[in-house]
Structure 1
Amino acid sequence: MTRIALCQIPVSTEPAANLRRALEALERAAADGAELAIFPEATLTRYGPRITDLAEPLDGPFVTALAEAAGAHGLAVIAGVFEPGDSRTGDTAQNGDAAKGNGRTSGTTPNGDTAKGNGRTSGTTPNGDAARGDGTPRVYNTAVAIGPDGTIRAAYRKIHLFDSFGARESELVEPGSAPVVVELAGLRIGLVTCYDIRFPELARALVDQGAELFAVIAAWGSGPMKEEHWTTLVRARAIENTAWVAAVGQAPNPEARDGFGIGRSMLVDPMGVVRSDLGPRPAVQTCEVDSQITIATRNALPCLEHRRLQVGRS
């Protein structure tokens, strides 16, 4: 059994306030015996024009503080941050096609090694706010994985950017290109960020790399059918891959007007059974992941072994 804390916190535009919430949630998770705490997408700062100034390299103060707390409590952490990017706001890279930048690099290499970065970006927020388009660097939307010793184990840069429902994340964010699986708390964990959940080929690539649990971090948007899409997609990724899914979204922030953050963090088992659903309010809940259930499910339903088609990019 592995004890995982779903840390459904509201996120503001102020990193200091978000860090305080995250550290309080980590204390609660540790007190409840969690071995891994998962936070939402964009835990560093809420989407908006200020992410162009607030993006930090992985050795910056926000991740450093999370890492120190992880080491102090002896539990692993996954959280969403923004890193300085390589390309510029006039570029239109999407779907993993990297745009050219000014030689600055940040984040992780495809094998998960941490790289340095010191750029800043500007652009468009997902809710359609105007971009400057002045050629300054964009950011990466990154899921950082920290071990219980406080070291960074991996970082995943979001591949599929939310250019839907009138939003243009790609004007602000540079896409990543490599799926990432990391071992934490005795589990092989595939990292997935928000809109990525709509692309089953990413989950299949992760399970082919040995993932037995998907950590899905999100700032899911509200709107007609959106919550139904979220719950359906989370369960679908579990069922079709006979894998656990720990999906953690931002709790609604009453001070924000952008509609992002619906809560509904969930733990779903490999048969698609919802083991926990946190609803819409801020919460920290510790759940158990049983790898024996994965083995039993895959023995009874060996669909991963029955595949006949190799699906690539459509």
Structure 2
Amino acid sequence: MTTSVVIAQLHVGWDVEANLSAVRAVLDETWPGDVVLFPEGMLSGYGEDLTPLVAVDVSAAVDQVAKLAVDREVEVFCGSLLPYGDGWCNAGIHFAATGDRHVYRKINLAMSERGVLTAGDELPVFPAGDLTVGVQLCREIRFPEQWQHLADRGAHLFAYLTNGANPREPAGVWRSHLISRAAENQRFLAAANIAHPEQHCPTMLISPRGEVLAELPPGRPGVLRHTIDPARTANWYLGQRRRDVVAVSAGRP
């Protein structure tokens, strides 16, 4: 059975109400059964300088998105910094159409996040209608073993939420990473980035063969929609891994 994936590329700032308004506007145009993605830090705001976080309260916004997911009968994957323990974490939240909520906490923190945010320690997958979805955030594109683990756990779709606007990154590198993560694991990959003049990572949808199915122009807000068939995912390459060699290599000094 096919599923419609909707990916939003939006401006994100430290104004929670403005961020929530942008999310609401996108969800108002969705259809029952859609799987909808928003960028990293979409609700809370995000930046290399995390000091504005002390004035942020996302609790009401999180509750409102949860209600919108139920009302619109959609599966929402949305980035936000969230309170965690005595501090904060960088999270990808799954708001299910049933009202359930699931949270992925970023396990491989950016250098600017370390000492400020608490890293996660799990790589879960989430049921989203007819799909199983694994979430990764921003710099985790650099760590292919995490994506392979999510594929092993049965993910049909990688939901990649990022806040990628770094002029120091070479053009095209992150786009290449995205295509590789999809093709090497034979999984669909949906990438949602912020709309920013210095955006270095595209917002796009990639097939299990590494084909770019849809892509938004960089730098300005937009929304793309495309239908995917989870039956097109496969374990052909994953099944050919030389675990004997990897296990031997890992034990060498």
TM-score normalised by structure 1 residue count: 0.72
- Please state if 1:214 is matched with 2:183: no
CA distance in 2: counterparts of 1:77 and 1:270, whole angstroms: 22
2:109 alignment partner, SS class: coil
1:68 alignment partner, SS class: helix
2:94 alignment partner, SS class: strand
Per-residue CA distance 1:122-148 (angstroms, 9 max, x = gap): xxxxxxxxxxxxxxx3x1000000111
Q: 1:242-261 maps to which residues of 2 (within 5 A)?
A: 242-252=186-196, 261=199
Identify the match of residue 109 of structure 2 among 152, 161, 176: 161
Q: 1:106-121 maps to which residues of 2 (within 5 A)?
A: 119=86
- Deviation larger for 173-182 or 225-234: 225-234
Name the % identity. 27
Q: 1:291-306 maps to which residues of 2 (within 5 A)?
A: 291-295=230-234, 298=235, 302-306=236-240
Task: List gaps (5 residues or longer) in structure 1.
Answer: 86-104, 106-118, 120-136
- Please state if 1:267 is matched with 2:205: yes
Per-residue CA distance 1:126-180 (angstroms, 9 max, x = gap): xxxxxxxxxxx3x10000001112321x1100011112xxxx2213221111101
- Please state if 1:196 is matched with 2:140: yes
CA distance in 1: counterparts of 2:91 and 2:128, whole angstroms: 17
CA distance in 2: counterparts of 1:195 and 1:245, whole angstroms: 15
Q: How many residues align?
A: 243
Match of 2:175 in 1: 231
Match of 2:131 in 1: 187
Q: 2:80 touches 2:92 (CA, 8 Å); kept in 1?
A: yes
For the aligned residue pairs, the C-alpha RMSD in angstroms reads: 2.1
Q: 1:263 touches 1:278 (CA, 8 Å); kept in 2?
A: no
CA distance in 1: counterparts of 2:90 and 2:63, whole angstroms: 17
Q: 1:77 touches 1:147 (CA, 8 Å); kept in 2?
A: yes
Task: List gaps (5 residues or longer) in structure 2.
Answer: none
CA distance in 1: counterparts of 2:125 and 2:54, whole angstroms: 28
Q: 1:1-314 maps to which residues of 2 (within 5 A)?
A: 1-30=2-31, 35-44=34-43, 45-47=45-47, 48-54=50-56, 56=58, 60-85=59-84, 105=85, 119=86, 137=87, 139-152=88-101, 154-163=102-111, 168-252=112-196, 261-262=199-200, 264-280=202-218, 281-295=220-234, 298=235, 302-309=236-243, 310=246
2:98 alignment partner, SS class: coil
Q: 2:66 touches 2:99 (CA, 8 Å); kept in 1?
A: yes
Shift of 1:197: 1.0
2:52 partner amino acid: R
CA distance in 2: counterparts of 1:243 and 1:55, whole angstroms: 35
Match of 1:128 in 2: none
CA distance in 2: counterparts of 1:181 and 1:230, whole angstroms: 23
1:250 alignment partner, SS class: coil
2:181 alignment partner, SS class: helix
Match of 1:94 in 2: none
TM-score normalised by structure 2 residue count: 0.89
Shift of 1:228: 1.3
CA distance in 2: counterparts of 1:206 and 1:52, whole angstroms: 33
CA distance in 1: counterparts of 2:72 and 2:136, whole angstroms: 25
Shift of 1:84: 1.8
